[in-house]
Every structure is written in structure tokens, then in C-alpha cells.
Amino acid sequence: MQGLYLVTPNWDDTPRLLAATELALAAGVALLQYRNKDAGPELRMEQGRALRALCRRHGVPFIVNDHVDLCLLLDADGVHLGGTDAEVAKVRALLGPGKIIGASCYGDMQRALDAQAAGASYVAFGGFYPSRVKQYAVTTQPAILDQARALMSVPYVVIGGMTPANAAPLAARGAHMVAAISSVYLADDPAAAVREFNGLYRTTEIRDAAA
């Protein structure tokens, strides 16, 4: 797992959401997360089902944010859990070993180690930079990635205000994936934005190969 982890915005306009997502997936996304904090159960089901179909067509794993029940109903590839969501160990027991479980760890290394021990497939650190869609009381510092590199065996993702420019030092510091909403969905050209994010990983791979 390496590259751009695309997360959806709170759009209720499903055709607009699907059109932008299709452009992004065609440009090359490592994982897609369906996150719509404003949607009710009916819209979540409609958008989730359509996005899952799109992901299957593009061979991209489909992750549901927060809603373990929706993950099960849609037979999604996994679920992303934060501090106020279900516990990783319980969800792992429910979903079995074959599903992807992501865990938000903010700037907390112990939380990441606990999530890994409880069966998380990846952990997410952040928010690192000011976000247009989410406020956080505490900003995560890039130095946590140095600890993660030394201590984690599952992949780690960075999130929060990511652009190709400000994500570069985090990718170079070992982040396996960069997660973003606005830099792709609010871009004039979402496909070009995806390609720019993926460029970070080509650079990292070239650097690592030369090391």
C-alpha cells in the first residue's frame, strides 16, 4: 500500500461525487474511503453502493468511514475507525482477518501501537496542516513519523490539509500513504491533482533505490 489515499467529501450530489471520483480513480488511487459525515442512512447506502462499484471496476480497495454496519452490508474491503468509533479489536473479531481496518491515531504513538496490536491493518496520523474540512485542537508534528518508522510494522498514513507540496517531506519521512479530500475534490483538475500526489511516491522510490 503506497500512494494517494483518497477520502470523499460531504457532498450530497451523488452524480458530482461519482464523476470526480471516477476521474481520480482512473488517474491512480491506492485506497478510496467513503466519508460523508452529513449523509443519512439512505444517502450513505446509495453513495456507498455506487462508489463500491466504481472501486471494483478500477481495482481499488473500498473503505467505509465510521460505519461498520455499512461495511458489512456493502461487503466493502474495510472500515476506518477513529477515537469515537468502534474499538479495533471488536471490529477485527467481527470482520475477520480478510478485511482492512484503519485506525486514527492523531499524534499519539501509543495509540498506534495499541491499534496495531488490536489488529489494525494501517494507522493514520494527523491532522498535520490546517484542513478546509476538519478542525482539530492539536496539530500532529512530523517527528511522529520517525517514531513510526522505528516502531510500526503496519503501514502509516498522513492526513490533514495535504497538498503535493506539503506532503512531500512526510512521504520522504516514511509515510506510506497520503490521505486527502480537498486537494483532489476541490481541484480544477482532480486527475492532475492525483498524478501530482503519486509523483511524490515515484520520487521516494527513486531516492530509496539510490540509497
Ligand X SMILES: Cc1ncc(COP(=O)(O)OP(=O)(O)O)c(N)n1
Going by the annotation, the residues of the binding site are 33-37, 65-66, 85, 104, 134, 161, 181-182
Binding to ligand TZP by residue 57, rule CB under 6 A?
no
Which position among 35, 44, 52, 99 bears the catalytic label?
35
Annotated binding site for Mg(2+): which residue ranges?
66, 85
Return the residue of 23, 50, 58, 85 that touches Mg ion, per CB under 5 A. 85
DSSP string, the chain: --EEEEE------HHHHHHHHHHHHHH--SEEEE--TT--HHHHHHHHHHHHHHHHHHT--EEEES-HHHHHHHT-SEEEE-TTS--HHHHHHHH-TTSEEEEEEET-HHHHHHHHHHT-SEEEEE--S--SS---SSPPPTTHHHHHHHH-SS-EEEESS--HHHHHHHHHTT-SEEEESHHHHTSSSHHHHHHHHHHHHHHHHHHHHH-
> Please, which of residues 150-189 interact with ligand TZP by CB under 6 A?
159-162, 180-183
User: Active site includes 104?
Assistant: yes
> Please, which of residues 89-128 interact with ligand TZP by CB under 6 A?
126-127
Task: Report, in Å, the least distance between residue 5 CB and ligand X.
Answer: 6
* Residues at the contact surface with ligand TZP, assessed by CB under 6 A: 126-127, 131-134, 159-162, 180-183
* Residues at the contact surface with Mg ion, assessed by CB under 5 A: 66, 82, 85
